[in-house]
Structure 1
């Protein structure tokens, strides 16, 4: 019987230097997309997928993340007195029960593989998910939920994948496909940021993973990889060679790279237009902006 995926790791130790000076005092994961921080989108996606235990791999200066998921009695009391029940309900989604979140420190920035390895003692002998909050995915069925449902059928290790243009493959980890079965592909290799024109496919790995405990065993043995860091892709590649059980999953949805300023702005527009309470006014404003721009040309 396949074990259910109930634990997820959130690597949130990065400094967010691409968003300085904002991230000098605010963790990047707390930056708001419309009216919710990036980390809230990741948590909501994990909950929808049936995740019960949330493991944050953090670093110095990330205490605002812990505060965000804590209860705020004074604010709740004020809202209750003013009869603002809708806001109270909204706050509930940000509260996490005692013990639901565990925080692990990554003392040195040694890569994504190392961040995942930091959580090894909390995982036990069961599959687990990894969610990178920088990758925000707009989807009717949340991406990780899609993957968990597919993983229940095939097991093994699964990475979220999406098609990228040929001229963008050098920016991603790219899958070398063994067999294409539609939404699921079996993988015979992974190439990290291949040189232009040398990618084995245009199917890129993005920030959602479901991994077997064996991957943690491989991370134990890896010293360092590209850039002197411990790469998660190296550990997954070990699983390909030893167990041949790695799959890519073509999720249904649109991914936004909120680790970049352009991606963050694109996500803000897309999520703003998706909101019933904002769409009309925002759409009118964007139309006016485009009219002014076109007139100027």
Structure 2
């Protein structure tokens, strides 16, 4: 497919309850939990901007209004920082601003699955290609190019849907959406089929989709049927699978390290990994890590 439509929109499903992080998430969305000094949602937005995304849709739930407030202008705070000449703090706030009219929020009123969450954004998506970023997944770039930018480049190359994939242990296939693969050049994998959370003995491969997608609007009519799949939920994987043959569909072995911040160990590992990238923190982090390692 030549000259695919520009990729300018991104959907971020953020309606989950964050029960794995209770009691911290009793009064704050899990997407506002910080990795070093930026919340998870900021990492997703930054990655999307790098990929050329200009319009954002948050799929929220009750108690998630602070996610919208975060990307608003905090007049009182900014005035106070100016008065105190804390220009470095003002600079730190800049990434948390999204231009007026470029961010909308849609409520997912019932927790009916990821596919249902994306269907809730149907008016925002329209007839355009769109990205999906799950903020629970943080991907530390390995080559100076973020995961979604890599997907966007692959989309412009193939003209169809592209999902980020990684190999998982065969015994863990029942946790993920798994690819049935065709041609494989080591980077791009032709997708022949998709299976949501198959048993290890039934899995067609061990290539798993992570929380980064670029999809074409052909997926929306299938989502609109709201058919329930694994776990009794509307599964995005099922709808994507039905578009295979209608549009080119590939998996991309992205360059980078993914941290699953939806669980505590992944979240803690991300803290260390991203702190070690920071010139102002790396030496101190190495020092205290050695201290704790010596105690083990």
- Output the TM-score relative to the length of structure 1: 0.96
2:165 alignment partner, one of 161, 166, 172? 161
Q: 2-side partners of 1:45 and 1:286: how far apart?
A: 28
Choose 76-85 or 6-15, whichever is displaced more: 76-85
Instruction: Determine if the alignment matches structure 1 residue 180 to structure 2 residue 184.
Output: yes
- Describe the SS at the equivalent of 1:221: coil
Distance in 2 between the 1:163 and 1:187 partners?
14
**2:255 is matched with which residue: 252, 262, 265?**
252
Partner of 1:278 in structure 2?
281
Shift of 1:221: 2.1
User: Contact conserved, 1:45 with 1:143, CA < 8 A, in 2?
Assistant: yes
The reply to whether residue 103 of structure 1 matches residue 115 of structure 2 is no
Cα distance, 1:196 vs structure 2: 2.5
**With structure 2 as the length reference, what TM-score do the two structures score?**
0.96
- In 2, the alpha carbon distance for the partners of 1:2 and 1:244 equals 11
Counterpart of 2:36 (choices 3, 23, 34) is 34
| Aligned with 2:63 (options 61, 64, 70) | 61
Structure 1 stretches of 4+ moved >3 Å: none
Is 1:151 matched up with 2:116? no
CA offset at residue 165 of structure 1?
Answer: 2.3
Residue aligning to 1:237: 241
The Cα RMSD (Å) is 1.1
- Looking at structure 1, the residues matched to 183 and 133 of structure 2 have their Cα atoms a distance apart, in angstroms, of 25
User: Counterpart of 1:227 in 2: which secondary structure?
Assistant: helix
The answer on 1:191 being equivalent to 2:226 is no
Which secondary structure state, in structure 2, belongs to the residue aligned with residue 26 of structure 1?
Answer: coil
**Alpha-carbon displacement from aligned partner over 1:247-283 (angstroms, at most 9, x marks no partner):** 1011000000000011101111111111111111110
- Partner-residue secondary structure (3-state), 1:243: coil
**CA offsets, 1:119-156, max 9 Å, x none?**
00111211001100000000021100011011101011
Q: Unmatched 5+ residue regions in structure 1?
A: none
Residue 130 (structure 2) aligned to one of 128, 131, 146 = 128
